[in-house]
Chain A
Amino acid sequence: MSDSATVERMPGAGLWLLARCRAVQLRNLVDQHLRGAPGRTFFVLVLLVLIWAALYLLLAQILKHVHSWGLVGVVADQHLFVHFFLVLAVMLTFSNAILTFGSLYGREEAGFLLGMPLRAREVVVVKWFEGIALSSWSFLLLGVPLMLAIAHSTPVQWYYYPLFLGHFLGFVAIPACLGLLAAWTVAMWAPRRPLTIVIATGCLVILTAIYWLSNISDSALKSEEWLQVVFKQIGIVKQPLLPSTWTAKGIVSAMRQDVGQSLFYLLVVLGNGAFLSWLTVNILGRSWPEAYSRAQRGRLQPTIRRGWFTKVVCWGLFFYLPKKLWLAMLKDLRGFARDARQWSQMLIMFGLLVIYVLNLRRMPVDLDNPQFKGLVAFLNLTTVSLILATFTSRFVYPLLSLESQQLWLIELLPIRRSTLLFVKFLFALTVTGLSACAVMGLAVKMLELPTAYAWMNVSICLGICVGLSGLSIGLGARFPVLNNRNPARIASGFGGTLNLIVSMVFVSLEMAGVGWLTFNEMSKSFMFSKALSPGGWLMVAGLLSVSMLVGAGALWIGARHFERLET
């Protein structure tokens, strides 16, 4: 009665079926977007291209500046790439680990696949491939602008392009495998506290970073020693034989038209990637069912205490609000405090930033040189803004969708809907503003920026917080997702993507202005003038008004839609 004769299919047949299933899903997705909302899709694509262009310009500017330092620039290239790929590897490993933990050990798809007569190895290979594909997105987003920016600042031959592509794509296999292995380790041995593991690993990364920074330089540096330290530092990075180093060297060789050396490093990276992939697929292919079963033990649910702490914090931060709004705020604050995913990401990101800022003086960069100082201050603000943009898109944006799903509840409260919107905005602004200004304040103090520049940095940072919070709340109310309660899904829908893109464009715009300010004001005198020029002040005022306008405009659009939303 059953077709048991067919069970011994050719090995790999399941792989083909799974791959085809993915392809059909992808086709349906594209089809749905193209047919259902061609205008929206087009709009998102245009904005993506804009971001991409902004990134290209930013990178090209940085490289141009670095190269204008002459001999130092030659060394700095390698230095830059080593760190770029190291950071990229860490980020890709983290994101792959989190994603595969959900997809291989979560309740949904994994359980379904495990119940079918598929080989575990076939499923694992498909997940491996998905990891690679996902990581390869980073090439499209970051790699291509970087590749073109390098080509713009250095004369290159045609073979530089295929070599760069090969290096980048060969490299991403390694973090993809590391992510799979990390998720597997957690599922096998610590399935009850996946979040704790993520936080602990984050802390470990931070500690390594501290150790690293304190290792590079043990004393305050004079400018002449800088070059030596850079050499020494590259020496240190070289020694552990990290894949990021091989890729960086391979790309630098390709830039310098040394094809042989570049190919050599490419083979090293590919060989290691292939070996690691083989290992990963074999380990996971053997033990995936066991790991899945182990991961199904429930997560530990902490019991909630009475919440006096959040009450005190809420009172401290929002004592000025009327009682009704204060209560609405307390609800949001508690939601935030009890969702560790939200603040732990903020904490890790800003923790890293604080450590970096505290170590600014020990960096192998000559901070007495106003040009360096300006560049570092500019990069600080850019980093903080980008982190804020990802945070608001991922965590602030879904707030309004979740709230819209329980509008009937809001209707019972004696609060106007737009007031509620404003409360959420205030909440987002307080969280982002406090953390960002703390970090930026510390950074300008460590950099010993002149007062005018310090105020400029902090106030523009605050302006960016206003703009980003307004965008996420406003667009969140304008494009609410009403059929899904998963914040990650809400954030990755159309409105969420739009919000992320608009936020990025907004940040790029602001940073372009700040960049103009910093470099213009400095290059005139080759040092910081005491105060900003009238043109400079005008620019600051312009940037701040853009922030206010963007924030207020988005809030207005959102509030209008939110008021009219049917219960």
Chain B
Amino acid sequence: MRKARIQSEQVNAGKPASHDASVCLSNVSKSYGDKPAVIELSLELYGGEIFAFLGPNGAGKTTTLKITTGLLRADAGRVWVCGEDMSRRGRRAKQQIAYVPDQPFLYDKLTGREFIHFARDVYGVPTEVGEQRLAELIERLNMDSFLDQLAESYSHGMKQKVALAAAMIHAPRVLVVDEPIVGLDPRTIRVIKTIFREIADGGGTVFMCTHTLDVAEAVADRIGIINAGRLIALGTLEELRGMASAGGSLEDIFLHLTEEDGDGVPEPGET
């Protein structure tokens, strides 16, 4: 089925496969030097869904996200975001998307508030609208106590919150998040899950990657599993259960699909 889609794309190359996809990767490959990181990956994400990208460390998740957001150029293949070609009309595409990297960057000598204001202005959000959104985010993410301190004093979790707020300030149609919950407390994780769900319910797309399975299991509408640069499974949780014929939890499916040889990883109790 994946093969079939790839072929149909090659026929009408130059156009996104379907115009309603909010993110469309077509045959994307990327290698670092001689080392392939992503191999012929095709993927379509739609408005209204939370998509979780799962894979072991070094599988190529971060690389795929960076290609999606226009930070890296693919060696081959095309990327569309909301119908805009990332390599040709990158600025229009980037206007629709927001990216929160796994190691968020903030300017050390700006306060969190100043940083978010900078993002607001770059995305061209009117001041009143931005302030309203910011007030809401401050309340929900509990940022009031530190937002007016310089970012150099922030912990990892605080940085992550501010980066997320800066990414949400222009109400992006596509939110791309790399390992969103690493280093956050349970309360914030709950809030973030809720925010993701709201974005999706409002017609937006959340594209997140993670190697923690229960988050994916809890919030994702669809899941893609990537291993060694190749997409090896794609579908809803139920569909994946069916594919792996392992039944049971996502952990079983994941281990079954990503195992190197036939043996698999024994259960803790088995040994």
Instruction: Give residues in A with beta carbon < 8 Å to B.
Output: 1-4, 6-7, 9, 14, 17, 21, 24-26, 28-29, 32, 107-109, 111-112, 114-119, 192, 289-290, 292-293, 296-298
Alpha-carbon distance between A3 and B170 when the two chains are bound, in angstroms: 7
Complex Cα–Cα for A292 and B90 (A): 14
Please measure, in the bound complex, the distance between the C-alpha atom of A542 and the C-alpha atom of B232, giving whole angstroms. 77
Instruction: Determine whether the beta carbon of A2 is less than 8 Å from that of B122.
Output: no
**Smallest CB-CB A-B distances: 10 pairs:** A6-B124, A293-B73, A25-B109, A117-B94, A112-B105, A117-B95, A7-B95, A297-B32, A28-B109, A117-B91
Q: For A1, give its contact among B121, B123, B202 (CB under 8 Å).
A: B202
Asked whether B189 is an interface residue with its Cβ less than 8 Å from the other chain, the reply is no
Query: How far is A108 from B170 in the complex, measured between Cα atoms in Å?
Result: 22
Flag if B110 contacts A3 (CB, 8 Å): no
From known contacts A3-B123, A21-B110, A289-B73, infer whether A297 and B173 are also in contact, taking CB-CB under 8 Å. Answer: no
Contact A108:B105 (CB < 8 A) given known A4-B92, A116-B122, A293-B73: yes
Q: Which of A2, A14, A109, A297 contacts B96 (CB 8 A)?
A: A2
Determine if B150 and A32 form an interchain contact, defined as CB atoms under 8 angstroms apart. Answer: yes
Asked if B112 CB lies within 8 Å of chain A CBs, one says: no
- Give the chain A neighbours of B173 by CB distance below 8 A: 1-2
A1 near B105: Cβ-Cβ < 8 Å: no
CA separation between A14 and B110, bound complex, in Å? 18
Measured in the bound complex, the distance between the Cα atoms of B114 and A17 in whole Å is 12
Q: Besides the contacts A3-B171, A17-B121, A116-B94, what 5 more A-B pairs have beta carbons closer than 8 Å? A: A1-B171, A3-B95, A289-B70, A297-B32, A297-B33
A39–B94 alpha-carbon span in the complex (Å): 46
Complex formed: what's the CA distance from A3 to B130 in Å? 11
CB < 8 Å neighbour of A24 from B95, B99, B110, B119:
B110
Q: List 17 A-B contacts (CB under 8 A).
A: A1-B171, A2-B95, A3-B95, A3-B170, A3-B171, A4-B92, A4-B96, A17-B118, A17-B122, A111-B66, A111-B101, A111-B105, A116-B122, A289-B90, A293-B72, A296-B32, A297-B33
A-B contact count (CB 8 A): 96
Q: Which of B98-139 contact A (CB under 8 A)?
A: 98-99, 101, 103, 105, 107, 109-111, 114, 118-119, 121-126, 129
Does any Cβ of A come within 8 Å of B172's Cβ?
yes
Q: Write the nearest CB–CB distance from B83 to chain A, whole angstroms.
A: 11
Docked Cα-Cα span, A24 to B108, in Å, equals 11
Residues of B within 8 A of A192 (CB): 33
Contact A7 to B91, CB < 8 A, known contacts A1-B173, A111-B101 = yes
* CB atoms of B124 and A9 under 8 A apart: yes
Distance in angstroms between the alpha carbons of A293 and B74 in the assembled complex: 9
Which residue of the partner chain, among A32, A112, A116, contacts B123 with CB atoms under 8 Å?
A: A116
Interface residues on B, range: 35 or more
Return chain B residues, CB-CB under 8 Å to A4.
Answer: 92, 95-96
Looking at chain A's contact residues, the main secondary structure is helix
Q: Closest residue to B167 on the A side, CB-wise?
A: A115
| B242 beta carbon closer than 8 Å to chain A | no
Q: How far apart are the CA atoms of A116 and B122 in the complex, in Å? A: 7
Count chain B CB atoms within 10 A of each CB in A9, A21, A107 and give the residue with the most: A21
Say if the beta carbon of B160 comes within 8 Å of chain A.
Answer: no
CB neighbours (8 Å) of B203 from chain A are 1
**Is the C-beta of B71 less than 8 angstroms from some C-beta in chain A?**
yes
Using Cβ atoms and an 8 Å threshold, which residues of chain A touch B129? Answer: 3
Tell me, in angstroms, the Cα distance from A32 to B111 when the chains sit together.
Answer: 12
Instruction: With CB as the reference atom, state the residue of chain A lying closest to B122.
Output: A116
B109 engages A117 (CB within 8 Å) = no
Establish whether residues A109 and B123, one from each chain, have CB atoms under 8 Å apart when the complex forms. Answer: no
A114 and B71 contact, CB distance less than 8 A? yes
A119 with B91: CB separation less than 8 A: yes
When the two chains form their complex, are residues B170 and A2 in contact, meaning their CB atoms are under 8 A apart? yes
User: Which residue of chain B has its CB nearest to the CB of A296?
Assistant: B72
Name the B residues within 8 Å of A290 (CB-CB). 73
Q: Is B204 an interface residue (CB 8 A)?
A: yes
With a cutoff of 8 Å between Cβ atoms, the chain A residues found around residue B95 in the complex are 2-4, 7, 117
Q: A28 contacts B150, CB within 8 Å?
A: yes
* Contact call A117/B122, Cβ cutoff below 8 A: yes
Residue B69 at the chain A interface, CB threshold 8 Å: yes
Which residues of chain B have C-beta atoms less than 8 A from A108's C-beta?
A: 105
Alpha-carbon distance between A425 and B238 when the two chains are bound, in angstroms: 65
Of A3, A32, A107, most buried by chain B (CB within 10 Å of CB) is A3
Residue ID in chain A nearest B97 by CB atoms: A115
**CA distance in complex: A14, B129 (Å):** 20
Tell whether, in the assembled complex, residue B71 and residue A111 are in contact, meaning their CB atoms are under 8 Å apart: yes
Instruction: Give the residue name and chain of the A residue nearest to B172 (CB).
Output: A2
Contact flag A1-B204 (CB < 8 Å), given A111-B101, A115-B71: yes
How many whole Å from B177's CB to the nearest CB in chain A? Answer: 12
Task: Give the residues in chain A near B96, CB-CB below 8 Å.
Answer: 2, 4
Which residues of chain A are near B71, meaning CB under 8 Å? 111, 114-115, 292-293
